[in-house]
A and B are shown apart, each in its own frame.
Chain A
Amino acid sequence: MQFPYTEKVLEHFRHPRNVGKIENPDGKSMEGSPACGDMVAVYLTINDDTKVIEDIKFESYGCASNIATGSVITEMAKGKTIDEAKSISWKQAAEELGGLPPVKAHCSVLAVEGLRAAIRDYEEKHGLVTEKEPTTDEVIKRRLKHVMNPLTGLDVIRTDLILKTSVEDGIVRVVVDLPSDHQFASAIKEDIIEKLDSLWDVKRVEVVFTE
């Protein structure tokens, strides 16, 4: 009998590291929502002079991949500078865990985004972020790189699942190269909306499927 998860994933799932909250954190984030399924909260203590992450804790409402990635990413980020930590990719996190099932890649992405969002929170509070960027096709493509194609475990941009994107008057339109009754159509749609509708100048997200 073989679990779909590696020993290392199961080990982190059974005994997650760095779990909990930090009182008065220097940066914090809450990524995901109960709607998509998983949620991750990340709390950081950062040394203002060296910009080194001195302490990191996380909480997870999610499946085994989510919990394990949250756990491993806290280990990877601790002791790094915020710039180093920002560049940790979900691929590196997944590799650190000995691999994840493709269908679960989006859970692992969420934990990585949680870490980045917590760092961004710190940067915003400390005036390290320049002004807000308007949403363009470029920005949309960048965000969609975090939407996983559950068939492959790679993102929807790289796997050419997105036929077209457009943005006009705050309304974003994304055309997905799947029939609307595809097994994963609903899941992908929800994921796309979630990645885009939080952008500051986006009013509505329309996801269109091919028939």
Chain B
Amino acid sequence: MFEEMIYLDNSACTRLDERVLEAMKQYYFDVYAVATSEFGYSMGIDAREGLEASRGIIASKMGGSPEELVFTSGSTESSNMALKGVASALKKKGKHIIVSKIEDFPVLNTAKALEKQGFEVDYLDVDGEGKVDIESLETTIRDDTILVSVQQANQEIGTLQDLETIASVCKEKDTLLHTDATHSFTRVPLDVSKIPVDLVTISGHTIHGPRGIGALYVREGTPIRKWMDGGFQEFNLRAGVENIPAAVGFAKAVELVTPKENKKLAEMRDRVIDGAFEKIPDVTLNGSRKERLPQNANITFHYVEGESITLHLDMRGFAVSTGSACFSKSLEASHVIRGIGGDHERAHGSVRFTFGRYNTMKDADAVVEAISEVVEQLRVISPLRNEN
């Protein structure tokens, strides 16, 4: 029923790739046992092999070794595990944690929850493009800082952080670094054998893999405590029956991303940004022009409101998202746009376009055409435009 829909909300979730589903099927219908030890029965041993092979594929994609990768139910769990697990392991060493102001909710709200438990959290400011200021990071780190969490790429405005420099600062100050790479994993390079980041959150749902599967990379020797009680699965860090079909699907999804695809995404992104600036007056790009995710364009269309734009676009067959308060579940304007110094109005009129495997250049052209009409239509009735 949605064959005709042009779906441009791929940072929220992606369409599953058929090849991923194919790879998963055998672990639902044939090798459906839990992963047993090598002394178990043969179906369980095969299941374990499937799980471990997937772990190897994903870990090596980021330059890590298999025993450093813990499967989880997704990014939210991975980031909870990273922050709560490290905080619990190191609370005697210190109670100070640093996160950037524009982190996604799994990191941001976990930090807030830790604050209520007596940890002290500093929320790092970012500049107008969303980049963390390295000097301010240096001065914020204290002797009792136990963890810094800065994302690799932003979920809304796509800005990439200078992870290499951030990691070397943390290393120098002897502080652990966690990075949320939910939106950047496989889309931009990350090599933990070169960059000394200690913990990395990743997920399958952003790369045409299954949802409900993610992982946390935990560098060997990192102090971390189990935060959910149960069995001894996943190196005794994550209790519960392993989701082997999803882990296999996640690994397949990782294998299917190519540099060519990422280049194509960047071309569609540029087409939308350039097209919007060419055709529509009074627009602002949110985030960096150069250092941004290949799949992300985020633009504010001034004098109009985002929910009205998304509804009009939906009726024309496009799916996009907005940082407007009206669109959000909490009725609050995007903390990311506010964080880069934007006012409510800038958040209100912001629209995020995120591309995926099943989009084409024609989609990019079509959405620019549609949004230029919709924005014009809404500006005609806007009291703000007429004031200016």
Residue numbers of A with Cβ under 8 A of B are: 1, 10, 13-14, 16, 19-21, 30, 34-41, 59-64, 66-67, 103-104, 107, 150, 181, 183-184, 186-187
Residues of B within 8 A of A66 (CB): 305
Interchain CA distance A60-B381 in the complex, whole Å? 6
A183 B305 Cβ-Cβ under 8 A: no
Interchain CA distance A37-B383 in the complex, whole Å? 13
Residues of B within 8 A of A181 (CB): 112
B344 A35 Cβ-Cβ under 8 A: yes
- Distance of B148 from chain A, by nearest CB (Å): 23
Q: Bits for B357-369, please: 1 = Cβ < 8 Å to A, else 0.
A: 0000000000000
Residues of B within 8 A of A37 (CB): 305, 324-326, 331, 333, 344, 348
- Given A14-B315, A64-B307, 10 further pairs, Cβ under 8 A: A13-B311, A41-B383, A59-B383, A59-B386, A61-B382, A63-B326, A181-B112, A183-B329, A183-B330, A187-B330
- Distance of B309 from chain A, by nearest CB (Å): 10
- Distance of A111 from chain B, by nearest CB (Å): 12
B383 A67 Cβ-Cβ under 8 A: no
Residues of A within 8 A of B355 (CB): none
Residues of B within 8 A of A104 (CB): 326
Instruction: Using CB atoms, name the residue of chain A closest to B109.
Output: A181
Task: Name the interface residues of B312-362: CB closer than 8 Å to any CB of A.
Answer: 315, 324-327, 329-333, 343-345, 348
Task: Name the interface residues of B26-74: CB closer than 8 Å to any CB of A.
Answer: none
Whether B134 sits at the interface, judged by CB under 8 Å, is no
A59-B325 in contact given A37-B344, A187-B330 (Cβ < 8 Å): no
Interchain CA distance A16-B343 in the complex, whole Å? 28
Residue numbers of B with Cβ under 8 A of A are: 1, 112, 303-305, 307-308, 311, 315, 324-327, 329-333, 343-345, 348, 380-384, 386
Interchain CA distance A181-B333 in the complex, whole Å? 16
A187-B331 in contact given A34-B384, A59-B381 (Cβ < 8 Å): yes
Residues of A within 8 A of B348 (CB): 34, 37
The contact of A107 among B315, B326, B329, B344, by CB within 8 Å, is B326
- Distance of A150 from chain B, by nearest CB (Å): 6
A1 B1 Cβ-Cβ under 8 A: yes
B382 A59 Cβ-Cβ under 8 A: yes
B307 A63 Cβ-Cβ under 8 A: yes
Interchain CA distance A20-B324 in the complex, whole Å? 24
Residues of A within 8 A of B345 (CB): 34
A103-B331 in contact given A37-B324, A61-B303, A62-B308 (Cβ < 8 Å): yes
Residues of B within 8 A of A35 (CB): 343-344
Residues of B within 8 A of A64 (CB): 307-308, 311
Interchain CA distance A35-B384 in the complex, whole Å? 13
- Distance of B26 from chain A, by nearest CB (Å): 33
Instruction: Using CB atoms, name the residue of chain B closest to A104.
Output: B326
Interchain CA distance A10-B326 in the complex, whole Å? 16
The contact of A186 among B315, B327, B332, by CB within 8 Å, is B332
The 7 closest A-B pairs by CB, nearest first: A187-B331, A63-B326, A59-B383, A63-B307, A41-B383, A34-B345, A37-B325
The contact of A38 among B1, B326, B327, B380, by CB within 8 Å, is B326
- Name 18 A/B residue pairs within 8 A (Cβ), A-sorted: A13-B311, A30-B383, A34-B343, A34-B348, A37-B326, A39-B383, A61-B383, A62-B308, A62-B326, A63-B326, A63-B327, A64-B307, A66-B305, A67-B308, A67-B381, A104-B326, A150-B331, A181-B112
Residues of A within 8 A of B330 (CB): 183-184, 186-187
A38-B305 in contact given A59-B383, A187-B325 (Cβ < 8 Å): yes
**Candidate in A21, A39, A62, A186 with the most chain B CB atoms within 10 angstroms:** A62
- Distance of A207 from chain B, by nearest CB (Å): 15
Interchain CA distance A87-B324 in the complex, whole Å? 31
Residues of A within 8 A of B383 (CB): 30, 39-41, 59-61
Instruction: Using CB atoms, name the residue of chain A closest to B333.
Output: A37
The contact of A62 among B112, B305, B332, by CB within 8 Å, is B305
Residues of A within 8 A of B382 (CB): 59-61
Residues of B within 8 A of A19 (CB): 380-381
B331 A184 Cβ-Cβ under 8 A: yes
The contact of A63 among B308, B315, B384, by CB within 8 Å, is B308
- Distance of A22 from chain B, by nearest CB (Å): 12
Interchain CA distance A30-B387 in the complex, whole Å? 12
